[in-house]
Amino acid sequence: MGAVKTKAKNLGIAPKRMKKAELIHAIQMAEGCTPCFGRSNGQCPYGDCCFMADCLKIRS
């Protein structure tokens, strides 16, 4: 979670008391991406997403 908070801070997002998924959604939106973390059907079309491995673990 530390790396996620650092990435958020670098993008100007204040992590406060956000849950991990909420924070990742905020990061995805700040990067101009679809806030899809944890919402996939077990497949991900975004091969370059740095959250893909964690996301697919949640959904499998």
Residue 19, pLDDT score:
95
Say if residues 26 and 42 touch (Cβ distance below 8 Å).
no
**pLDDT tens digits for 2-57?**
999 999 999 999 998 999 999 999 999 999 999 999 988 878 888 889 999 898 88
Residue 59, pLDDT score:
65
Domain ranges (residues) in the chain: 2-59
CA distance 27 to 43: 20
CA atoms within 13 A on the CB side of 45: 3
